[in-house]
Amino acid sequence: MEMKYSPMKIKHTLFAFIIVISGCTTVSEKPVEQAEPALFVSDYPTRDRVEYVLNCVAQHGGLSYISQYACGCKIDKIAEKLSFTEYESAKTFTYLSKGQTGDAGAAMRDPAQSKDLRKRLKDAEASAEKSCFVK
C-alpha cells in the first residue's frame, strides 16, 4: 500500500527532523586554538536550505530517504559553486525575468549580471543533479 504525504506533513516532518539534529552538538577533543579549520564553510541560512530541500523533494516524487538525501546533497553542491548572495540574486533574476515579457521584463532578463548569474545557477543545478541523483 502506497502512502501519500501532503506537502504540509512533509514540511512538519522535515522541520521536526531539523530541530532534532540542530540540537545535537559534539565537543571537540582538541583545544579551540588547535582545532583544524573547516574545509567547507557555507553562508546559506538553514531556512533557505530547508526551503530548497522541500521544493526539491516535492519535484522528485515526495518524501523518501532517497529524495531527501539527494536534495540535501544538491543544495550542498550548489553552495560549493555559488555564494549565498550569488544564489539569491540568481533566483531573484530568474523569478523576475519569467514574470514579465517585453520591456518590463528586460530590466531583469537582459543585463549581463543577470545572464551570468542565471547561467551559473543553471549550470550548478545541472551538475548537482548529475552528482546527487543516481539513476
For 86-111, write each residue's pLDDT tens digit. Answer: 999 999 888 887 777 777 677 667 77
- Residue 81 near residue 120, CB atoms below 8 Å: yes
* 85 falls within a domain: yes
| Residue 43: CB atoms within 10 Å | 9
Q: Which position has the grid cell 531583469? A: 108
Q: Which residue has the higher pLDDT, 23 or 89?
A: 89
What angle do the packed helices 84-99 and 112-132 form, to 10 degrees?
A: 110
**pLDDT (0 to 100) of residue 111:** 79
Q: Which residue has the higher pLDDT, 55 or 12?
A: 55
Domain that holds residue 124: 44-135
Q: Is the entire prediction scored with pTM above 0.85?
A: no
**pLDDT (0 to 100) of residue 75:** 96
Q: Which position has the grid cell 553562508? A: 43
- Residue 90 near residue 117, CB atoms below 8 Å: yes
* 75 falls within a domain: yes
* 33 falls within a domain: no
* 67 falls within a domain: yes
* 3 falls within a domain: no
**pLDDT (0 to 100) of residue 80:** 94
- Residue 93 CB-half CA count within 13 A: 23
- Residue 109 near residue 97, CB atoms below 8 Å: yes
* 36 falls within a domain: no
Mean pLDDT of 35-48: 71
* 111 falls within a domain: yes
Identify residue 116 by its one-letter amino acid code: D
Total tally of structural domains belonging to the chain: 1
**pLDDT (0 to 100) of residue 110:** 73
